[in-house]
A and B are shown apart, each in its own frame.
Chain A
Amino acid sequence: MKRALAIMVGAALILLLATLTLVVMPYLQMSAEQVPPDLKPYTEQQQRGRQVYIANGCVYCHSQQPRDPSFAPGDKDRGWGRPSVPGDYAYDEPHLLGTMRTGPDLFNIGARQPSIDWQLMHLYNPRAIIKGSIMPSYPFLFRHVDEPAEGDKVVNIPPPYGPETGTIVATEDALALAEYMLALDHTYPAPTLPKKPPNSDEPKENRAP
């Protein structure tokens, strides 16, 4: 029994060490990180949109973390934005950094596509806007009505993607998600990003995305 206990205690201690280095220390360091002054907290509606984003698993195809251009030039060159810093995520709970780019990075989608109509139409059927897109349609975020009521947000879907009769209107969830998309705009400067050393210019000439 002594030896069995020794193995278990040893195993637990090693995991404790890993917890210290990989959980506690990063937490201490990053929670002290400065929050960029231009970063705005989410509104209630944007926060609701963020929950819709989580519930429907957008994170499985979209990242929210452009990498440093000196490391991975494609991220900046595609117009996905400057490298993100810990402070950018101060209001993100849980984080939605993502690990997959089946679709593009969304860290600055609000700056790239600032029109709510674009966002809603794209959510209803991505192929109505981008030919060959493999993103799923989200028809359940919309209502199909004969006549839009007062205050309904009408989404004009180009044929043949819309219904043959009637109108498509956005639900509260769709509007919230679209507002969250628009809030994903981190084009402000990040004060904690290291200043460029004098001898290194932009790593690559800026190609238009």
Chain B
Amino acid sequence: MTPTIAILLIITFVLSTVGLLLLIWSIANNQFSHGQAAARTIFSPGEEGHSEDPARAADEPFTGDTSEQTAAIEARWTADQSSRTAVLTWLSSSVFWLLLGSFFGLASSIKMHLPEFLTASEFLTFGRIRPVHLNAVTYGWASMAGIGVALFLIPRLFKTPLVGGKYAVIGGFIWNIGLVLGLSAITLGLSDGEEWLEFPWQIDILFVVGGALCAVPLLLTAANRKVEHLYVTSWYLMAALVWFPFLFLIANLPFAFPGASGATVNWWFAHNVLGLWVTPIGIGIAYYMIPKILGKPIISYQLSLIGFWSLALFYSQVGIHHLIGGPIPTWLVTLSIVHSVMMSIPVITVAINHHGTMIGNFSRLKDSPTLRFVWIGALMYTVASLQGSMEALRSINVITHFTHYTVAHAHLGMYAFLSFILFGAVYFIMPRLTNWEWPWRKLISLHFWLVSIGILIYVVSLTVAGWKQGVALLDAAMPFMNIVKMTLPALQARTVGGALMTLGHLVFAFHFIAMLMRSGAATEQPTLFRPATKENAQ
């Protein structure tokens, strides 16, 4: 394939030149000089050293020692309130889709070991409820919660009230309509037939429009911003909101990519949904929450920027590792494997920042539910990503491909990493938006332990069984049905884990609704600027 190699060489050349020009541009524009000053932009004046942790019981919130500092905190409170309607629209919807997606996931899991469970109706057959689960939790829960948290962070990061929040509210409605139509289409058997792209393309237009509408307040608020530095979280959020509509549009172009090239587009997209959509949102949130709760800036700001650009460069090309051994050109697979391994660079830079900032503060995990969720999420990002790089190697992939191992890996990423960070963020955000504290903190702990034990059972059982399944599949001396029987205990264990997770989500949703309704007694902490009359109730 001489022309292919020639094109690759040309691209490499162009890429290095562009990289060099970017480097020169950024040095000329002082991009690297901010260093730790930029890392401190998330704090109000005088706030550094004070923890902001609205879900926690014990500590006094920082309201400023001088009038200037108090004014800054009040400005932040105004900024928080400005995004209220938009954020609550997206978050409330996401909690609904989380519950729906959990029940469909649980039912799919039960069907894997009880094949006669709910087989009478075509609408509840395994091959339809499984994609309903995936799409509900990916586009309903993870994407909507991610956008909701992003909308909350935008005014905070730019230190100015959200401009154009109504576009995001309209976007949220359109997105929800898309989900209802899309999930109904799958249930009715109208799936497009490709994993992660099941929604019929006509419905996908709604997601492109809904997502693009969320970019409007981002751009308007960015234009209005009162900070000089763009904190790294805003880099991730801006990039993610550029990437998603673009990706979703190309991957859904109807009938453009037939046959085997359709598979490459399918997996290019499916991995980019993880790499360029939910991952930047998850990492970006952790980059904000961890230092904010600890009251201490991240340890290396420059490193965070290297992490950002290397993530963009490497993650965008890893998708074809889903087709190792498949009917596609070898150079393509190799390209994706190389990039998958190179992903360890952004992963390690993010790990140094997230976990390095935590060093010396691990005791805070005990009393801060937000930090516990967010940091464990960040830790699982490191684990899942390094595991993913390993899985892309041909020698490992030949075993793990086509097995439950991959399913465990996917949940490690989408759940133990992303969903944990989103849970933590919701616990942080809601008290600030509703000016009310979480009524029953024990429920936060209950939620944490249910989902933690649940995902642990889930991942461990399927990882072990999947590996054994993969080894056995390579050896034709082992009859296929024996392999099926071998995996059964793990499939049953997955149902137990999944049930615990679903139970945890019920607790979470109940608490979330109680928060929206301002249930429970007004207790002492940690709401800023609550009307003084309520301060002493109870």
Contact = CB atoms under 8 A, between A and B. Distances in A.
Interface residues of A, number: 79
A56 B127 contact: yes
Given A23-B264, A72-B325, A78-B480, A135 B131 contact: no
A67 B193 contact: no
B48 interface: no
A138 to B, nearest CB: 7
B366 interface: no
Given A26-B332, A27-B261, A133 B126 contact: no
Interface in A66-86: 67-68, 71-74, 77-78, 83-86
Interface in B500-521: none
Interface string B360-399: 0000000000000000000000000000000000100010
A22 B264 contact: yes
A128 interface: no
A136 B111 contact: yes
A27 B250 contact: no
Contacts of B128: 55-57
Which applies to chain B's interface (DSSP): helix, strand, loop or mixed?
Answer: helix
Contact of B116 (A26, A96, A137): A137
Contacts of B484: 102, 132-134
A99 B474 contact: no
Contacts of A68: 325
Contacts of A23: 250, 257, 264-265, 268
Interface in B237-261: 238-239, 242-243, 246-247, 250, 255, 257-261
B126 A11 contact: no
A149 interface: no
A145 interface: no
A82 to B, nearest CB: 11
B257 A27 contact: yes
A71 B250 CA distance: 32
Nearest to A135: B115
Given A22-B319, A56-B122, A1 B223 contact: yes
Interface stretch (A41-49, A87-95, A113-121, A150-158): A87-95
A136 B125 contact: yes
Interface in B1-31: 1, 4, 7-8, 11, 15, 18, 22, 29
Interface of A: 1, 3-4, 7-8, 10-15, 17-23, 25-27, 29-31, 33, 54-61, 63, 65, 67-68, 71-74, 77-78, 83-86, 88-102, 104, 126-127, 130-141, 207, 209
Given A95-B260, A131-B481, 4 more contacts: A31-B261, A86-B259, A90-B258, A136-B126
Interface of B: 1, 4, 7-8, 11, 15, 18, 22, 29, 111-113, 115-116, 119-122, 125-128, 130-131, 189-195, 219, 222-223, 230, 234-235, 238-239, 242-243, 246-247, 250, 255, 257-266, 268, 272, 276, 309, 312-313, 316-317, 319-320, 322-323, 325-329, 332, 335-336, 394, 398, 401-404, 406-407, 473-477, 480-481, 484-485, 488, 491
**A-B complex: 5 closest residue pairs judged by Cβ atoms:** A57-B127, A55-B189, A77-B476, A18-B316, A67-B325
8 contacts: A15-B242, A21-B11, A22-B336, A27-B264, A56-B128, A77-B475, A84-B326, A101-B402
